[in-house]
Every structure is written in structure tokens, then in C-alpha cells.
Amino acid sequence: MPTIRRYFPRCLLRFWLPDSARRVSSVTSVSLFVVFLCALLAGCAYEPLPPPAWAIAGNIQKAEKKRSADDALTEALPGAPSNEQREVLVQWDVIDGGNVGGKYSGVQHVRFKNPVAAAGRGDYLYIADRGARQLYLLNRATEQLSVVGRVWDYISNDVGDIYVAADLSFYITDTTGGRVLYFDKQGNLIRIFEDKLNLSQAVGVTVDDARGYVFVGDSAYDYVVVFNLLGGILEAIGTRGDKPGEIRGLTAVTAGPDGLYVGARLSERAQVFGMDGSYLYSLQRETVVFPTAIVVDEDNRVYISDYMDNTIKVYRDGLLVSTYGGTGNAPGRFKRITDMWLDEGYLYVTDSLNRRIQVLRIVPDDMSLSMR
């Protein structure tokens, strides 16, 4: 405080004031000392003047800069939650296995070894476990886990995707075998979708029951092969290239309100095609690096998992509005998302290296808008 030295008596300042300052009369010193004590005692009742306008404006600017810096830091942290993230995706459940056995044989909890794909309807969830080389069916109501037939005997090496129909029959990609296998809910093989000349590496499958189409994404030829429900090939959507409407390094495919949503490792990372094969639009560029799975909800919000940072990117009207997740093993964190499935407002995320399926609750679009 710059005024303290001015009001101290001479005897207290002799150690640091020069000789010329020590020539103050004793009366003056005592008077000043009394004034100092009075000011000190009255200090508690003293109300300082408000700072000038320029100081207030400066403090506001500093506060705004700090908030901007804090926001930037939050956005830079992998998986750090934001207001938008809390509105769109909510951590709900973690499934790491299920119960096998019964009252007489005893119940044992079996954990997944390396799940690579999951899909289901209602309380029933299919899980393809590459580590155990089994396709499981989990009853979420009872937490009972069972092996579905001998499905894995038909798989050459790996599974890339599962699509489950309303009657619990399912389509599963035999990726390296270059085909899609269609089973009933007991695991009996019904049909094989394949074409040795036009389908080589099946990484994704989705079905349009209303039109009677089965769409299979091929990562070797970089297009989507269209079959009818009887297994006959009809056409191919997309072609290899780097321009909008072209695909390079296809990784995922799904159907949604606008048509077919396709993810790729290179060039146009996420784009939408009409069912007739026409290019419609691309999702916001430079926002996802390595898409591994795509799902679309009824509000036409698009969810894309990104292998590069273990996050789920959420798009509305083609623009990125939220990023959820990040690398780790805590709930809401992931280590290599290999598949996603949407059912009844729940997003099932195959968290492969963490050996589990994470369930996220999707907040309806009208509710998330009202929460802003």
C-alpha cells in the first residue's frame, strides 16, 4: 500500500528513510501517527469508491478470455463432456457378459473375450465374440447368455457387422469370406448373399425390408452391393475415387431417412447416397478421421465412431454438434469401437478391446433442443 510509509512516525522509519526525511519535527510525527491510528481504526467502516469504467471493462474482458481459454481446453481434452454431449448421449449401462447355466447345473458369469459386433431388438442382443469364436444371445431382462447354434462354423475368420430383423432373424457379415449369412433366431442358416465376381470383403450390412433390399458394403471394391431378399445381385452404389460421390477405403454402411450413409477411411469420410445410387451430400468435412460404424436415429441425427480418438461424433443437418467418449476403460470411454447398433432409443457400442458392450441412452431431439 503506497500510503503506509507517508503516515508512519519518524521513529519507525529511521531504518529505511534517508537522513533528509528524518528531520520532521516531533510534534508533526506524533500528529501524523495519531491520524494514522484513527484511519486504521476507521478502516472497517470505510467503503472504497467503485473502480472506474475502464477497469470494469478490463476485468470483464479478462474474464471472457479466461472462459474462452477454459472452453478451448475442455474441447481439447479427449472425451471431455460438453453441454451438447450431455443432451444427446447419456451413459446407461455396461455389459461385459452374462449368466450361463441354471438352478441345477449352477450359474456362472461368462465374460466376453473380444466382442466385435452387437445388434438386437428389445431385450434380446446378439454379440459376435471373436475371442471366444461364438455368437451369443443375451436376454437383458434375465441376463441369461446362450450360444446361438453353430453360427461361427460358417465364419471364415472375422465378423464385421450384424443386422437384426424384427423377428430376431439376423444377417451377419463373413468379412474375409466376402459374403453375408442369413440365419433364423435359432441359428439355422437360411440364405447366403454372395457374388464371387462383385463382392470380396464384406464389412457392413443393412436391410430395407420395405423395398426388399439387402445392402452390403465392400471395402475391397469400395462400393455398396445391392441384393434382393432372395440373394440375387441387383446393382452397386458408389465407385472408387476421391471426389464427392466417390468412395475410398469403405468402412461402414447403414440406412437412414435420407438414404445410405457410407463411411470411409480416405477422401470423403462420411457421405449420403440416395437409394437409387445418386450422391446427395457429405457430412461436415475434417471432423472424423477413421469411421468404423454409423447409425442414424429417427430425427436424422448421425452417430459415427472414430477409430482415431475413440469417440462418437454426432451430426445434425450434416454438421458436427457433439463429440462423446475418448480413450480409456471407465464408463463412457472406449478402446476401439468396432460396431454400433441403435434400438428403441438406446445406442449399443461394441467396445472391443475393453471386452464389453456399452449402452448409451439417446435423448430425443425435441428434448435436447429444449435443454439448451
Q: What percent of the chain has pLDDT over 70?
A: 75
The whole-number pLDDT of residue 209 equals 87
The verdict on residue 16 lying in a domain is yes
Residue 157 inside a domain? The answer is yes
Q: Which grid coordinates belong to 222?
A: 469400395
Q: What is the pLDDT of residues 238-266, one digit of tens each?
A: 999 999 999 999 999 999 999 999 999 99
Q: How confident is the model at residue 292 (pLDDT cuts 50, 70, 90)?
A: very high
Residue 269 and residue 134 share a domain: yes
Block residue for cell numbers 453441454? 83
pLDDT digits (tens, 9 = 90+) for 340-361: 999 999 999 999 999 999 999 9
Which of 73, 103, 125 is the last residue in one of the domains? Answer: 73
- 26 and 154 in a single domain? The answer is no
Same domain, 48 and 191: no
Query: Of 73, 103, 119, at which residue does a domain stop?
Result: 73
Instruction: Please list, residue by residue across 299-319, b when 16 or more beta carbons sit within 10 angstroms of its beta carbon and e when fewer do.
Output: ebbbbbbbbebbbbbbbbebe
Chain-centroid distance, C-alpha 219: 23
Residue 204 lies in a domain: yes
Can you tell me which residue has the cell 465374440? 129
**Cα–Cα distance measured from residue 319 to residue 246, given in angstroms and rounded to the nearest whole number:** 20
> Which residue among 73, 105, 131 closes a domain?
73
Structural domain that includes position 245 = 87-370
Pair (161, 203) in one structural domain: yes
Residue 81 lies in a domain: no
* d(C-alpha 158, C-alpha 135), whole Å: 12
Considering the domain architecture, whether residues 109 and 53 belong to the same structural domain is answered as no
Are residues 221 and 278 located together in one domain of the fold? yes
Is 80 a domain residue?
Answer: no
CA-CA distance, 282 to 270, in Å (whole number)? 6
Q: Are residues 95 and 56 in the same domain?
A: no
Whether residue 181 sits in one domain with residue 150: yes
Report the pLDDT value the prediction gives residue 104, as an integer from 0 to 100: 74
* H/E segment holding residue 204: strand 202-208
Closest CA to 89 of 337, 311, 317: 311
Looking at residue 203, its amino acid is V
Same domain, 133 and 279: yes
Nearest 5°: phi and psi at 133?
A: 50, 55
Summarised one tens digit per residue, pLDDT across range 142-199 is 999 999 999 999 999 899 999 999 999 999 999 999 999 999 999 999 999 999 999 9
The answer for residues whose C-beta is within 8 angstroms of residue 152's C-beta and 6 or more apart is: 133, 134, 135
Check whether residue 283 and residue 355 sit in a common domain: yes
In a domain, 196, yes or no: yes
Residue linked to cell 436415429: 297
Triad 278, 283, 288: Cα angle to 5°: 130
Cα separations in angstroms, 112 against 14, 40, 126, 135, 356: 82, 73, 12, 11, 7
Are 79 and 332 in contact, with CB atoms under 8 Å apart?
Answer: yes
- Cβ proximity of 206 and 231 under 8 Å: no
Residue 67 sits in the same domain as residue 123: no
∠ Cα 135 137 143 (to 5°): 135
- The number of domains in the chain is 2
Greater model confidence, 245 or 27: 245
Domain CATH for 99: 2.120.10.30
Give a yes or no: residue 252 inside a domain.
Answer: yes
Residues 109 and 67 occupy one common structural domain: no
With respect to residue 82, please indicate whether it lies within any of the assigned structural domains: no
Give the per-residue pLDDT at 31. 55
Across the chain, mean pLDDT equals 83
